[in-house]
Chain A
Amino acid sequence: MAKGSLETVADRIDRLNAAIGRGAAWLALVIVVLQFALVVARYVFSLGSIWLSETVIYAHAALFLLAAAWTLQLGGHVRVDIFYADAKPRTKAWIDLIGALVLLFPVMLTLLWLSWPYAARSWAVLERSQEASGLPLVFVLKTLIPVFAVLMALQGMAQAARAVLVLRKRRRG
């Protein structure tokens, strides 16, 4: 039915991105613990590990790229709220709808279009770290960029869907 479909789609996207984002959030703790282990290893035992250093970098990249769409869902991306803060729900819905259609979608689709071949080239040679003892997973790291674009575009769909729901409800009531 038309009533539930938009809401169902938005809910599913929200659940997906929340699961991915909350999973990625643990990487914050991983970064702290591994980086601290690196510091201890370096200063106490004079040991270094390129492999471990690169893991921290990977975790950091994954943290912000995978948590970004979830952050959008929670309203965590800063807005200039001089007008927005006091706007009526209907006005806010219009801003979100137009923003998603005119700003978010074109940006994320362009990024997907640009980063897809970028990641694909890396996959083609199974690109590895330039350091001999580094992680052989550069192609995975580069894949995070198109994944980020897709997750953000999906969240944009949810945002637009919810805006449409607000606009519809008001007109009826």
Chain B
Amino acid sequence: MAETLAILMVVAVIAALMAGYPVALTLAGVSLAFAFIGDLTGVMSFAILGALPQRIFGVMTNGTLLAIPMFIFMGVMLERSRVAEDLLENMGRLFGKLRGGLAFSVVIVGTLLAAAKGVVGATTVTMGLIVLPAMLRHGYDKRLAAGTVAATATLAQIFPPATVLILLGDQLSNAYQSAQLSQGKFAPDALNVSDLFAGALLPAFSLVALYLVYVGAVAWLWPKAAPALRRDPKGPRGAKFARKLAESLVAPLVLILAVLGSILGGIATPTEAASIGAVGAILLAARKTAIAPLLRPVADKTAQITAMIFVILIGATFFSLVFRALGGDLMVERALTNLPGGTTGAILTVMLAMFLLGFVMDAFEIIFVVVPIVGAALLKMPGVDPVWLGILMAMNLQTSYMHPPLGPTLFFLRGVAPKAIKTSDIYWGVIPFVAIQIVALIVLWFVPALATWLPHALYR
């Protein structure tokens, strides 16, 4: 009876979400209704919800999650200060004379932006507004242009210090603790957000390399799709150009290296590094424009995005408390351990579920809902490394983010892309990149060292 209710609750949540009321409140409201039903039918006690204030207080005082508003601040500040525009323009000039050169620079700059901004929406909008018209103007194939922009912007989901990695790290570390405790290990190993950052680095760079190879192959096989730029007679040349390029490139690069380097070098916690990044972004912006008028809109936007994320976390807390009270977590664990194919079958099932959920839900929601349910069960299985599992999940969510027809990146891009680009161009253009993602996921599956080697080398 209780477990039937747990299943019904999941179905009801998904159905209710489709109506389009804010996700956080839908999660909490439906869960609350099921807590009532459970209490009335005597399968659970409503009193369990009494744990909510303490849970919320735990979120409020969590030092790791404190990094989130600061990384968001950094991204929004870079967005508003138009550091990105300069970078794109100058890189385009640098590689422009090569066939496919513009696409190369888009991938490289997009990677830098994704790392600095950490929010897919912001990266997609910037790139869609600036890069896409430029690529079309220079005669690039529409599909290639749209696909390159969408895929590169989505890197913000996996490139450290991605918000997704912080949230995944937080949720997985709870799951990892309880998995070890239940196995009688009372001095459990910890999983830090830094481990996930380090683990994401090589897979993220592999993706960038594969994107570059793909763009290069298209330019070589099909020159018309990715022509070289005509020389711009009015543009700066020689030493003057070199200086402009260096200026636009060095500043954001230093910022990213300072943030990532201090985390990966074990010098600073992600929270500390986030404040360095945010102050760095303020300084970069101040060099270009008056900073005072920027502070109000940047603070506002940061507050809204932060509130959005944390309210989902609060809503998901309702859900996981009730789901657990109904015995849902034990049911999921039993189902996962009884799957044919053992560990492989269990992880594949979870991956597939997350991928499908990615069509309708945001990465944040999936992390808050799915990881508390399946995390401990998966991490109890022999040979499952928490970093590897985390990166698999992150890359999986990233792929579903750009998968037609419902990937959020595609919607963001549709919103800002020139009229000349049809929605079908975006879909077709992104498919090769989705294929690349799937190849990368398969490689990561068979070569866990891709994710686990760097954190072990750095921290163990």
A binds B: yes
Interface residues of A (CB under 8 A from B): 21-22, 24-29, 31-33, 35-36, 38-39, 42-43, 56-57, 60-61, 63-65, 67-68, 70-72, 74, 76-85, 87, 92, 95-96, 98-99, 102-104, 106-107, 110-111, 114-115, 118-119, 141-142, 144-145
B21: which of A29, A38, A79, A111 is its contact (CB, 8 Å)? A79
Interface centre among A92, A111, A144 (most CB of B within 10 A): A111
> Is B272 on the interface with A (CB-CB < 8 A)?
yes
Question: Taking chain A's interface residues, is the majority helix, strand, or loop, or is none over half, making it mixed?
Answer: helix
The closest CB in chain A to the CB of B313 belongs to A64
Q: 1/0 per position for B155-176, CB-CB distance to A under 8 A?
A: 0000000000000000000000
Q: How far is the CB of B33 from chain A (nearest CB, A)?
A: 8
- Determine if B311 is an interface residue (Cβ-Cβ < 8 Å): yes
Across the interface, which residues of B come within 8 angstroms of A114, CB to CB?
Answer: 49-50, 52-53
**Given A71-B304, A77-B308, A106-B32, A29-B53 contact (CB < 8 Å):** no
Residue numbers in A under 8 Å from B305 (CB-CB): 76
Collect the chain A residues with CB atoms within 8 Å of residue B309's CB. 64
Which of chain A's residues have a CB closer than 8 A to the CB of B362?
Answer: 78
Whether A29 and B279, one on each chain, are in contact in the complex, defined by CB atoms closer than 8 angstroms, is no
8 contacts between A and B (CB under 8 A): A42-B272, A64-B303, A64-B311, A76-B307, A77-B25, A77-B308, A78-B364, A107-B28
Which of B61, B267, B295 has the most A CB atoms < 10 Å from its CB? B61
Contact between B32 and A32 (Cβ–Cβ < 8 Å)? Answer: no
- Tell me if B23 counts as interface (CB < 8 A to partner A): yes
- Asked whether, in the complex, the Cβ of B306 is within 8 Å of the Cβ of A77, the reply is no
Note all chain A residues with C-beta closer than 8 A to B278. Answer: 32, 36
B268 surroundings in chain A (CB, below 8 A): 39
Partner pick for B306 among A38, A67, A82, CB 8 A cutoff: A67
Residues B19-63 near A (CB distance < 8 A): 19-26, 28-30, 32-33, 49-50, 52-54, 56-57, 60-61, 63
Cross-interface CB contact of B28 among A35, A95, A103, cutoff 8 Å: A103
**Contact in complex: A28, B299 (CB < 8 Å):** yes
Say whether B276 faces chain A, with CB atoms less than 8 Å apart: yes
A80/B360 in contact, CB under 8 A: yes
What's the Cα separation between A54 and B19 when bound, in Å?
A: 40
